[in-house]
Structure 1
Amino acid sequence: MKLSTLLSALAILSICSIGCVSNKKYAELQTNYQQLQDKTSDLNQKFLTSQQQLNYTTSKVKSLEDQIASERQNVTALQDALNKCLSSSSQGNVNISKLVDEINASNKYIKHLIDAKNKSDSLNMVLTNNLTRSLSRDEMKDVDVQVLKGVVYISLADNMLYKSGSYEISDKSGETLGKIAKIIKDYQDYDVLIEGNTDNVPIAQKNIRNNWDLSALRASSVVQSLQNNYGVDPKRLTAGGRGEFNPIASNDSPSGKAQNRRTQIIITPKLDQFMDLIGKAPKQE
């Protein structure tokens, strides 16, 4: 009887030990799985940010390329007309000279367009580098900075800043907003617009009527955080919401919706300030 009892006790102890090891292994796998999920989410966000910047750049280059192509077609047409004039004895030297002048003028305009495109790309690159010089390479992964027609756009996805479906600033947003405050405070004479944007999914909360409310409240939260937590002068700040009516991608897919749910910090220097900004590096901390 005693031997039987002892064997039973040993069997129960063995089962418990196996169960403990299993549970520990399961918890470890769960932790690894969650880390992989977090890394996947981070990579997806970086991809969306890069895609947005590529869309802006592609659109601008396409416009200039269209103008260049149009002028080249014009040159071809003028060259054809010139060839006809040269082969026809009825055309006088005056008409030929006029066509040559027009061809030369078109070629000159094409060169001007190419130079303008190259200069625009160079100025935007210089300005972006100056604005982000106070940020480290790791910090730049969380902040998308673009320059379009002399206006500086700093874009942040909503999941960086807010609690889900809310306008409340999340705890993890502090580091990101600190980076934004660095840029804003480096250039103290420029006005700053904080602009909230949403996708087209209706908001379902009692105290928020629609996406207009949500986008404006989110912008206001960022403004107040920059003022209260990072010492940005509130006289320079404006909060605004554009709801779902300023999309940069289609709302027909989850990735498009994610791109549209964003907050933009828009720095708007005047022309003379813009030129100063190109040639001036930010203050080093």
Structure 2
Amino acid sequence: MKQLVIFIVLGGLLGCVPIKKYKDLEAKYAQCQEEQASYKSRAIDFENQLKELNVQTEVMRKGFETLQADTARLGDEYRQLAVDLYKTKELNKVLEDKYAKLLKSGSASNASLLQDLEATRIELQAKEDRLNKLEKELNTRERALSQKEARIKELESMLRNKDEASKLLKEKIASALRGFTDKGISVEERDGKIYVSMEAQLLFPSGSTAVNPQGKKAIIDLAAVLEAQEDIDILVEGHTDSDALRSAVHPKDNWELSVLRATSVVKIMLGNSEMNPLHISASGRSEYQPVDPHDKAKNRRIEIIITPDLSELFELISNDE
């Protein structure tokens, strides 16, 4: 009887182990879901910021062109008014000479000449006032134009530097992963971002979230290049095919599989480099962003999206506004 009781107690204790492990996995999955939602929101915000930056740059450029055209028109008007003023001054001098002669001769037409002279003086004063006002406005516009031009040049220089840095980084990544190009890895640049795509067959056994040794080496080689970059944000996205995954344990479906695989890659990158965790995130896309509807192997992949930090550019535009 005593042996039976001991056997029952031991059986109960052994039965608790898989339940506890299952609950731990449930908790980790819930945490992954929360992190995924946060990272997805951050990625969308960054995408919107990049679009806003492009729009604001174009608005600044159009505003500069408008200001440039207005300044040119104002300059033409100023020069024409200066010519008119010169002619009026010449006419006024002629009239003053005639007036001086008439004063000496005592001509009866003095009154009429005085009226003409006064009218000319008033016209001359009005033109001088208009010319002074126009000159001040022209100077103000030229200063504004110069400042706007300097801002645009600075912005274009920063964008050009970002593009050059992005191209250089792409070359470094491609060089570091050259030994894996025939094993399902591609590197390309689109819309100012670098996309590193790794087919799942290089990284994971079927249905697994554990990275195999060959895939781990590729991830570590990539991390070695990225750890020296301080002004980038990295999003690791997991993708699956459309085949349904149903399991009683984790991962239960394609959503979990995509998130957990992305998380596995992030952990390897952070665990084998000095990358800043604040600039890297994991996300799962499940089956909903296929690259080839006819090739499931290509759809089962990890995409590492490297985006330049544009905070300095946004600060420049904000200061300009």
After TM superposition, the score normalised by the length of structure 2 is 0.42
Larger Cα-atom Rg? 2
